């Protein structure tokens, strides 16, 4: 099973554009627009 999220700025999951794509689990810094979009979705759930 795969859970995949595509963002309005082209991010895949929480891997922002321009970040090195790694095959291992890792931490990333989210852009403000990603945080705001996530907050908007969470309010509706």
Residue 33 has pLDDT above 60, yes or no: yes
pLDDT at 45 over 70: no
Range of the domain at 6: 1-17+24-45
Q: How far is CA 40 from CA 12, 25, 26, 31, 37, in A?
A: 18, 26, 25, 15, 5
- d(CA 27, CA 40) in angstroms, rounded, equals 22
The CA distances from residue 35 to 27, 32, 42, in Å, are 15, 5, 11
pLDDT at residue 34 is higher than 60: yes
CA angle 11, 12, 15 (to 5 degrees): 70
Structurally, the chain folds into a number of domains equal to 1
Q: Does the predicted TM-score (pTM) go above 0.85?
A: no
């Amino acid at each position: 099973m795969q859970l995949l999220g595509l963002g309005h700025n082209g991010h895949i999951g929480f891997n922002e554009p321009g970040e090195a794509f790694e095959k291992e689990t890792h931490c990333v810094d989210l852009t403000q627009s990603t945080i705001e979009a996530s907050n908007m979705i969470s309010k509706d759930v």
